[in-house]
Chains A and B, each alone.
Chain A
Amino acid sequence: MDMVMINYCVTVLYYLITAFFFLAVVRNFVSTKNIEEAILYGIIMIPFALRILRLK
């Protein structure tokens, strides 16, 4: 397997990991009863969303 293919596989895994953590943050956002935590989760979601959408 050449380097390009290895990198491609790692990139796909990376996006899957990013999506996993995004969903975990969303789940925590939904379940929390603490507003401060909800604000924190809301902020944390932004870079994950931008990365999944391949904007940054």
Chain B
Amino acid sequence: MMKLRTAKAAILLIAGTCAAIAGFLFREHRVYREAVVASSSITEVKKLSDYSNAVKGTVNDANVYIFDSGVPGGTVVLIGGTHPEEPVANLSAQIFTENVRTLQGKVIVINRINTSASLGTRMGEAYPRFFHVKTSWGEKKWRYGDRVSTPLDSWPDPEVYIHYPSGQNLAYMDIRNVNRTWPGRPDGLLAERTCFAAMELIRKEKADIVMDFHEAELEYAVENTIVVHEEGQSVAAMTSMMLTSQTFDVPIGMEFSPKALHGLSHREIGDHSDAVSYLVEVAEPMLDRIRGITDEELLMSGKDRFVMKAGEHKLLYSPIDENGWPVDKRTARHVTTLMTILQVHNMLTPDKAVILEGIPSYGEMMEKGVGAFFSNPDASPSERVFYE
């Protein structure tokens, strides 16, 4: 009897220790806050709930960084962090937040539109919890996340997710996916309310352009491309041609947003507001099913011999070689794509021009790395330091 009690006490001790360690790691990920040093041209930082009460008091009440030149022109809204397992989306948005100087028009940035999804990683995938970017002042740390909001914040899922307002049936977990719940509704679940609040922002700020940054596995057909609402086809086509012929080593394509596929930003934002909606994709080998060791090294370098082998057998929609798809290149492509879209937009609609300064070029980001363009929060004026 004594032996059994001792054994049970030992089992409880071991199980409790495992739970404590796991709990500590999960909690550390969930409570970590990322520092953002807004550029000196910041005019206002709002919350998403300033545009709609639908997200008030929720974890997805994101910071909204506004850079208003005061000179009449267009308004562009940048959305990062739709899928926090695609970190370059977040980094690209933050490059703008930390560096942009607006000469004409207005820039509005949301670095993390689905904060909830960044507070946990995808279950069963052994993802790293954080990733780090080297800078001249040390390492800057971000949360690595999941594709959808965590069940801690949005639960339960329906058996079948019926998209509002189209009525289209989608996979159950997509009710937590911020790129399946546009245009959202004020009385829906968390992702739907988040999209509704963002739509209110887009409508109230009279946005002309909305850009949603993403990454995709190389096995996925929508890759290294601009997906655009039909309203933006001229700008996207010209951008694709300019970047492919002059800047990028791997071409960037352009495709139309399917009219019958609902819930996606490139379709619904264009349909439910006056803004032209764009979504850009870049290759991220970390997301491929056939990848090898899933760690921060793969996330940052984009090098994986199993994905490369698949490429040798022509199973991928994007080229990959021993140089991989490093985070610097992926971010540089996104930032440069948006800058080129604005350049073309300004040519076609000069009365709605958005003219920006301070954004690094593709060559600068490739040469210096993206870390060179993030400021040290500890050495920056506190009024410009915000947390996500």
Q: Nearest Cβ in chain A — how far from B24, in angstroms?
A: 9
- By a CB distance below 8 angstroms, the chain B residues around A42 are 11-12, 14-15
- By a CB distance below 8 angstroms, the chain A residues around B27 are 55
Known A38-B11, A42-B15, A46-B19: A55·B155 in contact at CB below 8 Å: no
Question: Chain B residue with minimal CB distance to A54?
Answer: B152
**Known pairs A14-B155, A38-B7 / 5 extra A-B pairs, C-beta < 8 Å:** A7-B189, A11-B155, A35-B11, A42-B15, A49-B19
Bound Cα distance A25, B291 (Å): 37
Q: Nearest Cβ in chain A — how far from B160, in angstroms?
A: 14
Please list 18 pairs of residues, one from A and one from B, whose beta carbons are closer than 8 Å in the complex, sorted by A's number: A3-B187, A4-B188, A7-B154, A10-B155, A10-B156, A11-B155, A14-B155, A14-B156, A29-B11, A35-B7, A35-B8, A35-B11, A42-B15, A46-B18, A50-B22, A50-B23, A55-B26, A56-B120
Q: Nearest Cβ in chain A — how far from B179, in angstroms?
A: 20
Contact in complex: B30, A55 (CB < 8 Å): yes
Q: How many A-B residue pairs have CB under 8 A?
A: 60
Within 8 A of B (CB), among A23-41: 29-30, 33, 35, 38-39
- By a CB distance below 8 angstroms, the chain B residues around A49 are 19, 23
- By a CB distance below 8 angstroms, the chain B residues around A11 are 155-156
- By a CB distance below 8 angstroms, the chain A residues around B154 are 7
- By a CB distance below 8 angstroms, the chain B residues around A14 are 155-156
Contact among A4, A29, A35, A56 for B22, CB-based, below 8 A: A56
Main secondary structure on chain B at its contact with chain A? helix
Contact in complex: B156, A4 (CB < 8 Å): no
Q: Nearest Cβ in chain A — how far from B193, in angstroms?
A: 8
Bound Cα distance A56, B8 (Å): 25
Which 8 pairs show the lowest CB-CB distances between chains A and B? A42-B15, A42-B11, A55-B26, A55-B23, A46-B19, A2-B187, A56-B26, A35-B7
- By a CB distance below 8 angstroms, the chain A residues around B11 are 29, 35, 38-39, 42
- By a CB distance below 8 angstroms, the chain A residues around B260 are none
- By a CB distance below 8 angstroms, the chain A residues around B189 are 3-4, 7
Contact in complex: B187, A50 (CB < 8 Å): no
- By a CB distance below 8 angstroms, the chain A residues around B188 are 3-4
Tell yes or no: B4 within 8 A of A by CB.
yes
Tell yes or no: A19 within 8 A of B by CB.
no
